[in-house]
Every structure is written in C-alpha cells, then in structure tokens.
Chain A
C-alpha cells in the first residue's frame, strides 16, 4: 500500500464515521459534529494529494484546504447559531421532535 493510499483510506474511514454520526444521532449538535468530521476528512484528502501529487510547489491543494477550513468555520458558526435559535423556539435539540416547519 502506498502512503497516499494509506492517507486516503484514513480519510475515507473518518468520512464514513462522520456520515454515520450525521445519519444516526438524534441531537442536532452531534449531527453538526458529524458534518465537521466529514469536512475534515475531505481536507485530509486535499493535503494528501498535495503532498504526493506531481507539483507540490504549486500549492493548489494546500490553498484549497485552507479555504475549505475557513468555509467550514463559517458553516459551524451559522449551524450552531441555528441550533441555539431552534432550541429557544422548540425547547429541544432533538431532531426527531423537530417535525414541523411552522412554529
């Protein structure tokens, strides 16, 4: 197994763990954590391809990962703000109980 394949497999495992968390947990914050894990796995892919790609001095993979981290931070802030707002409205963070769009 090449080093690149090893890192890609770790990223795939992390992505699957995040996906399982996002699909199976009932709490909205845990679903957001699962999504963050998936985004991080994608970043690991980008960095691994940058490191073992043909032109690491071009910095494209590294730049993509840095911008991806910035966008993920914005997503986390807005997502957690939404969870807090919904909790204030519905008095719960349980996704199974949030079954109405109208308050």
Chain B
C-alpha cells in the first residue's frame, strides 16, 4: 500500500468511527458520507474507476440524501433525553464487534501471503464492463432492474401517508 492508500484508509475509517460515535444524527450522516467518499477514492486507488464513480453516484449522491431525509422526517436529530444515544447493552455489542475484528484480522494476516499476485494494472475500460453487462451478466442485470423497481414501489408504499390514520 502506498502513502496515499494509508491516507484514504484513515479518512474512511475515521468517517466510519465518527458516524458511529457522534451524538448529533446530522453529524453522523455527514460523517458517513465522508466514509462513503473515502471508499470511492479507495476504489479509484485500486484501479476500479467504474466502481469508484458508481460508489460516488449511488452512496454519496443518493443514499446519503436518503439518510438525511429520514433523519429530518423522524426528528431524530434531537438527542434523546434519557440514557444517551447508545443502548444499555453497548458493552456486549462492542465486545462482539472487537471479537469479529480479531478473528478476521487473524485470518487475513495468517492466510493471505500466498494469494497476492503483484499484477500489472488491469486495463479495464467502461466499454468492456458494458459489454460484459450486456453479454454474460445480462440476466443478473435484468434481475437487478426488477429488484430496484420493486424496491422503489415498495419503499413508496411503505412510507406513504395512510388516509385513515390522518383523522
């Protein structure tokens, strides 16, 4: 990893940490946008240009806006009066997360040595990706299109204002 990878990794991890730890929900949304942007830059650093730009469009552009709207619509930017922002069983959750990190880190450090091919930069163009999407991956692409349609309609119906509740 080069110096710039370390800087990008620090930005991403710092954004994630801030998103989990901050008290104000709007600050959390901004921090998670920073983490998403850092991940997009990490993708660019890994020579996956298309995935990086998709990450910026989908996450920084759409998901972050959705999160901000949900926060403002549920008025959860106000900090709760009792007991803070963490659940009473936060210690158990922290222990589980630390244990998961320990196991994954141990597995990575002990197994990955034989797998790192120091290959040249893969010359992948957007045209190749498009041809793969329209050729070998056309069925998954159609299924994803259907899934996105269903999810859009489902989200609108679930969040729609019901008339009988308005009275």
Q: List chain A positions with a Cβ less than 8 A from chain B.
A: 1-10, 12-27, 29-30, 32-34, 36-37, 40, 43-44, 47-48, 50-54, 56-57, 59, 62-63, 65-67, 69-78, 80-85, 87-88, 93-96
Beyond known contacts A29-B71, A56-B124: 14 more, CB 8 A cutoff: A1-B1, A5-B113, A5-B116, A8-B104, A9-B108, A10-B9, A18-B20, A27-B85, A30-B85, A33-B67, A40-B55, A47-B51, A65-B51, A81-B155
Specify which chain B residues have a CB less than 8 angstroms from the CB of A30 in the assembled complex.
19-20, 25, 28, 85
- Chain B interface, number of residues (Cβ within 8 angstroms): 86
Specify which chain A residues have a CB less than 8 angstroms from the CB of B5 in the assembled complex.
3, 6-7
The reply to whether A25 and B87 form a contact with Cβ atoms under 8 Å apart is yes
The one of B50, B97, B132, B155 that contacts A16, using a Cβ cutoff of 8 Å: B97
Determine chain A's interface SS by DSSP, over half rule: helix
The reply to whether A9 and B105 form a contact with Cβ atoms under 8 Å apart is yes
Contacts A17-B13, A59-B129, A67-B140 known; A76 to B90 CB distance under 8 Å?
A: no
Q: List chain B positions with a Cβ less than 8 A from chain A.
A: 1, 5, 9, 12-13, 16-17, 19-20, 25, 28-29, 32, 35-36, 39, 42-43, 46-48, 50-51, 54-55, 58-59, 62-63, 66-67, 69-71, 73-74, 76, 80, 83, 85-90, 92-94, 96-98, 100-101, 104-105, 108-109, 112-113, 115-119, 122-124, 128-129, 132-133, 137, 140, 144, 147-148, 150-152, 154-156, 158-159, 161, 165
